[in-house]
Amino acid sequence: VDKDALDAQVKERKIQEAAEKARNEELGNEMKQNDKITRMLEERQKHEIRNINKAISDFQKNFQKPETRREFDLSDPQALKKDRPARLADNDPRCTVSGLQKFMGEDLNYNQRMKFQKEQLREWSLQQQRDWKNALADQKYADYLHDKNRIELDQKTMEQQQKEEENRHAVCAATKDFNRAQASEVAERKKLEKYQKMKDDMNEIASLLQGDLLSENPEQAVSSFGRHRVITDRWKGMTPDQLMAIRYSQQQQVLEKLRLKEEERQRDAEWHRQIMQTARAQEILERQQRRQYRECRQAVDKVNAELSREQKSKNIYLKEEAYSNFPTGQYFAQFNTTSR
């Protein structure tokens, strides 16, 4: 077991776990900060909605009272007690358009009314400007919070990337040192193996040079089972007589093979001749069948032409002689002329 490699792997695993734990903690802190900002924005939105609803209620309470409605005089319980003459002044609320008691521009307080309307328009314009400024300020504050949050997120992301880069460099350095140590160890081991192999080869060469194998002693190949058997790993070759017998046997085998090839060639030639004869007979038979079919076709065409001429002659006879006398109206008038 390579203990150093296992220790290095354990150390690398601990470094990765520590980096993973730090990254998880950073992500948790970032999620908490985002949740806090989200709650603040939600509270602010609820506060703004509550203020808007309160402003609407105050406006309805102050400027939309039941007494100011157009149809209040129809449901006023004190209508009879408040009844007055037809017109007391120009600002009499009873002087409606349908009463034709006051027309546009004929009221007595025209200047005051115009002044009041201008003042009211000015107040409305100022109120709109204040609302617009407040909305712009709120939007600017929201943009400021968004930009601040985005900058913080970017900074945290950059810090996290930098930490991951440092961790990666540390892991790469540790891996490089471990690989360098392993490479040196492997090189040393290969060097020792090479030296041991060279030593063994030298011993084997010396043993072979001093043995009977390279000295080509013919007696070393004789087997203990008889002179006709040899030991294969010590045998140096056959004698000239044995080689001559083998060459003679090879020549006989070559002659036998040539004879078999000649017989096979003659057999193939015979087969080819028979195939050619069969093909020639088949071609002659096909020519004869085509000639017979052509003669039959010519006979059928001749019979059909004769039948066509007979049909035309019959049609001419029927048209010019058999059906040439068409009946007239006088022919049909001679029937049904008696009391029967």
> Average pLDDT of 56-66?
85
Model pLDDT for residues 84-132, shown as the tens digit of each residue: 666 666 677 777 767 667 777 766 677 888 898 899 999 999 999 999 9
Model pLDDT for residues 217-257, shown as the tens digit of each residue: 666 667 767 666 777 777 677 777 878 988 999 999 999 99
pLDDT at res. 104: 72
Tokens 């949050």 -> residue:
149
Q: What are phi and psi of 222, to 5 degrees?
A: -75, 130
Distance separating the N- and C-terminal Cα atoms of the chain = 139
Gap between the Cα atoms of 58 and 235, Å rounded:
125
Gap between the Cα atoms of 29 and 152, Å rounded:
12
Length of the chain (residues): 340
**How does the average pLDDT of the chain come out, rounded?**
84
Model pLDDT for residues 129-158, shown as the tens digit of each residue: 999 999 999 999 999 998 898 898 888 888
Model pLDDT for residues 160-196, shown as the tens digit of each residue: 888 888 888 888 888 888 888 888 899 999 999 999 9
